[in-house]
Amino acid sequence: MESVDTRTVRIGTRKSQLALVQTYWIKAELEKHFPNLEIEVEKMSTQGDKILDVPLAKIGDKGLFTKELELGMLNNTTDFAVHSLKDLPTNLPEGLMLGCVTKRVNPADALVVNAKHQDKQLETLPEGSVIGTSSLRRLAQLRHHFPHLAFKDVRGNVNTRLAKLDAGDYDAIILAVAGLERLGMSDRIHQVISPEISLHAVGQGALGIECREGDTKILEILKVLEEPESRDRALAERSFLRELEGGCQVPIGVNTSIEGDNLTLVGMVASLDGKQLLKDTVSGNRSDAEQLGKDLAGKLRDMGAGEILAQIFAEVGRK
């Protein structure tokens, strides 16, 4: 059999700083395992990178950050794409698959504050403080716990958002811990938000590598990057989201943990005003990860999640 490291491998990536950091990390890891592998990086612009003046929730999220990368794989100009797993839709185009989930870093959200609030926490920010977030999930949960705060959309990559915060457009913004850490900006993490306050997005903190279905050589190469716990947790979380038919831009949050063979999945669905917040937990063998996600979705549906989501799709003006 021909060895896996005798062909050139081409990685497709977005051009944002975070995407490039993640892609070059994957490239370096693969080069450690396969010193003879030739790896090229193909930088592409996605719709999500181009449309910067419309709130994310209004555009919808069906592959906003992934479509162009997927076309590259389908027409064989690239072999795989590195995504923040949370940006990867739960249903992939025909012919493509989630080939690998890498070891997850801290999946929590972080509060980042304007300098004038250095001495404050989420709990002590003054009434009316303006919090920047483009995520309905963060919005709904924070409104639920802190109805006295004000919320405003913020778009752009991490650097753009931080610049707007520092310029005084916001009192604080919410960003993923993982993104800030990967960009070497851990010093901006003012407070790590606990799961009791805000459950994170499905897949947050892990990288997902998408590739052609049945491309055994690429799948063989990607195996060295796979981390079983992160993979099982991601499968449970993605199955939960898929079952509720929500993308990244719906107020759905999760938290997962594994102890021994037991996987616990916490999930929530909230209304945009934060007044309704449904939350429940399932637990079972990690080999049934996807079934656990479905079970939890069923539980939340029984509690009324379907009505909350239908209301949101009507409000946001799509579906």
Q: Which residues are catalytic, by number?
A: 87
| Cβ nearer to ligand PBG, comparing 86 with 212 | 86
| Structure tokens belonging to residue 183 | 């960009």
Closest contact distance (angstroms) between CB of 304 and ligand PBG is 27
**Residue 179 binding ligand PBG, by CB under 6 A:** yes
Residue 293 CB, shortest distance to ligand PBG, in Å, is: 19
Select the span of 31-39, 118-126, 172-180, 208-216 touching ligand PBG (CB under 6 A).
172-180
Q: How far apart are CA 43 and CA 258, in angstroms?
A: 36
Is residue 30 a contact partner of residue 4, using CB atoms and an 8 Å limit? Answer: no
Terminal Cα-to-Cα distance of the chain (whole angstroms):
49
Number of other CB atoms surrounding residue 67 within 10 Å? 16
For residue 313, count other CB atoms closer than 10 A to its CB.
Answer: 14
Rule CB under 6 A: is residue 5 a binding residue for ligand PBG? no
Smallest separation (angstroms) from ligand PBG to the CB of 35 = 28
Binding-site member from 86, 120, 137, 188 for ligand PBG (CB under 6 A):
86
Give the start-end residues of each E strand in the chain. Answer: 8-14, 38-44, 80-84, 96-101, 109-113, 130-132, 150-152, 172-176, 191-192, 207-212, 252-259, 262-270, 277-285
218 is an interface residue for ligand PBG by CB under 6 A: no
Residue 253 CB, nearest approach to ligand PBG (Å)? 13
**Closest CB to ligand PBG among 4 and 139?**
139
Q: Which is closer to ligand PBG, CB of 226 or CB of 288?
A: 226
Contacts of 75 (CB under 8 A, 6+ apart): none
What letter would DSSP give residue 138? H
Residue length of the chain: 319
Task: Select the residue interacting with ligand PBG from 88, 96, 125, 178 (CB under 6 A).
Answer: 178
Q: Which of 162, 175, 189, 289 binds ligand PBG (CB under 6 A)?
A: 175
Footprint of ligand PBG (CB under 6 A): 84, 86-87, 158, 175-176, 178-179, 204-205
